[in-house]
Chains A and B, each alone.
Chain A
Amino acid sequence: QQQVKQSPQSLIVQKGGISIINCAYENTAFDYFPWYQQFPGKGPALLIAIRPDVSEKKEGRFTISFNKSAKQFSLHIMDSQPGDSATYFCAASMETSYDKVIFGPGTSLSVIP
């Protein structure tokens, strides 16, 4: 019940294409869903986050779609660029419970020219 599932494990997209990463959770007490981007040799960096009272959030080329009834959320990267090549983690947490922060297993994205 504490897991966050993430797919695909790896993704190859051509430059200019759309990258889509999907996540699912089971614990309905989660109320904050951030996405992190991690480059090799670096720590994760917050990319974008959403709360379940919103169905979509867009920041630049990055969009989170959230389906509360299905307990699923996804990250869309529009006009994918080679510089977007990184590992992406979805995560979930509960505002009242610091130790409930759960990361997904990650998706390795490669954007090819």
Chain B
Amino acid sequence: ETGVTQSPTHLIKTRGQQVTLRCSSQSGHNTVSWYQQALGQGPQFIFQYYREEENGRGNFPPRFSGLQFPNYSSELNVNALELDDSALYLCASSSEGRAMNTEAFFGQGTRLTVV
């Protein structure tokens, strides 16, 4: 196990609702990245938080937002849910402010279904 925990593991929401996903980073890690993995596809980078500040963003609309807390845990918030938001949402933590060039440890993901 990586030490990165995500909650909840599964979630069903209705189109138009809002959702908050949570991630606890591995001990000693100060960087959290969020990814969206649609069924049968590779993960897509949403954004990264480094020491409580957004440190980069992928091609996702503003209704995807996040927070990082002083203990380096993080939240992903998605407003006005759309059917296409149905996916596995992955959190990855690392020890530096870069997404992948130091090893990033992934959580098991939250499976979000929008109906």
Contacts and interface: CB of A to CB of B under 8 A. Distances in A.
A105 B103 CA distance: 20
Interface stretch (B50-58, B69-77, B78-86): B50-58
Contacts, number: 62
Contact of A99 (B4, B57, B105): B57
Candidate in B91, B97, B109 with the most chain A CB atoms within 10 angstroms? B109
Contact of B55 (A32, A93, A98, A105): A98
Interface residues of B, number: 29
Nearest to A106: B42
A101 B2 contact: no
16 contacts: A6-B42, A43-B106, A43-B108, A45-B105, A45-B106, A46-B103, A46-B105, A93-B99, A98-B100, A99-B48, A99-B58, A101-B99, A103-B42, A103-B44, A105-B42, A106-B40
Given A91-B42, A99-B58, 8 more contacts: A32-B100, A43-B2, A46-B105, A93-B100, A99-B56, A99-B99, A103-B44, A105-B42
Interface of A: 6, 32, 34, 41-46, 89, 91, 93, 95, 97-99, 101, 103-106
